[in-house]
Structure 1
Amino acid sequence: MKKIIIITGLSASITLSLFAFMAFLISNDQVKLVLLPDHVPINIVSLPEDKPAQIKVRPNLNPPPPPPPMPITRVTPNVGEVNTDFNYTPPEIQQTGGSLSVLSLGNKADGEARPIVRVNPKYPIGAARDGIEGWVVLVFDINAIGEVINISIVDSQPKRVFDKAARQALKKWKYKAKSIDGKNISQQKLTVQLDFTMAQPS
């Protein structure tokens, strides 16, 4: 019972203390009143007048006309005279190593090989331009079907001027192969001379 009385007394004293403190605060509180002026200043801002819309002209996007064509200057070149007048006589062909006759023996023909296709060599351009003449001696074999094989240069004059042309021409020759008892056989070591001569214009 004493505890209740003591607690109640403490509570009452604390409550009174709080009320007294609040009254003190209220009495010392200074409230400042803000007085509004009689005339409130009003700032009037004038807006700029609306301007009429400006019409912009679109730029001309078309390309400019092309410039006039440049005049064509024609220049006639000076061409030096080149003397190309010459008559080419195909080289004379001399063959050794066998007779060209064909013997007829009944139904079987025997005989030495004989050419059936001859190709003239091309005159080298440099030699024709310089008016050079000469000859080439070649040795070759003929196989059983008449082809020219194993070509070699024996001699030539001038050296190495007409060798290539002579070799290329002889390689294209075709022969009727030598036959014995109607059977074709090959031949070796046949010799031919190709002469390169130029007939001068009259």
Structure 2
Amino acid sequence: MSKTNATLSRWSRMGLGLLGALLIATSAIAAPKVLKKVPPEFPATAVKKGIKTGSVKAQISIAADGKVTEVNIVESTPPKVFDKAVIEALMEWRFEGSGEKQTHELKLVFNSED
């Protein structure tokens, strides 16, 4: 098995390639309480390219019931590598309902141990 295939296999066995994630709320208004947090998967393309770290700042729209209705990428480093994983994960997040729509920015930081 090649080193790349062995690495990808190891990531697959782990289920989640995200070994470290930091969530930073950047909104002026405190974000509502997170009820369900789904960590983004570390993309196989990042592993193939030897990318071990990155970050994505995203703007999320939260419905009155706490469901995430939209995710927009504001900034990502390296560009586009982690965007899809972040969007897919954040769409699964659930927050405590506040009774009104909200928009918040947050930053997810990726670190892999290898």
TM-score range, shorter chain: 0.7 to 0.9
Please provide the CA RMSD for this pair: 2.0
- Identity over the aligned pairs, expressed in percent? 28
Match of 2:48 in 1: 129
* 2:2 paired residue number: 81
Equivalent position amino acid for 1:158 in 2: P
Q: How many residues align?
A: 103
State which of 187, 190, 197 in structure 1 corresponds to 2:102.
Answer: 187
134, 139, 154: which one pairs with 2:74?
Answer: 154
User: How far did residue 89 of structure 1 move?
Assistant: 0.8
Could you list the per-position Cα deviations for residues 48-82 of structure 1 after superposition, in whole angstroms to 9, with x for gaps in the alignment?
Answer: xxxxxxxxxxxxxxxxxxxxxxxxxxxxxxxx432
| Structure 1 runs of 4+ with >6 Å offset | none
Larger Rg: 1
Q: Name the structure, 1 or 2, with higher relative contact order (CA <8 Å, separation 6+).
A: 2
User: 1:61-116 CA deviation, whole Å, 9 max, x = no partner?
Assistant: xxxxxxxxxxxxxxxxxxx432426774142211122336xxxxxxxxxxxx2111
Which structure dedicates a bigger proportion of its chain to strand? 2
Q: C-alpha distance in 2, partners of 1:131/1:89?
A: 15
Q: TM-score, normalised by structure 2?
A: 0.79
Of the structure 1 ranges 83-92 and 135-144, higher mean CA displacement relative to structure 2 is found in 83-92
Asked if structure 1 preserves the Cα contact closer than 8 Å seen for 2:18 and 2:39, the reply is: no
Which residue in the other structure is 1:115 paired with? 34
- Unpaired segments of 5 or more residues in structure 2? 12-16
Cα distance in 2, alignment partners of residues 147 and 197 from structure 1 = 27
Please give the per-residue CA displacement for 1:135-169, whole angstroms capped at 9, x wherever unaligned: 11000111111011221110001111111000000
Which structure 1 residue ranges, 5 or more long, are not aligned? 1-79, 101-112, 179-183
Distance, in Å, in 2 between the alignment partners of 1:99 and 1:153 is 20
Instruction: Give me the TM-score of the superposition, normalised by structure 1.
Output: 0.47
Change (3 A) 1:139 1:88: closer
Check conservation: 2:18, 2:40, Cα contact below 8 A. Answer: no
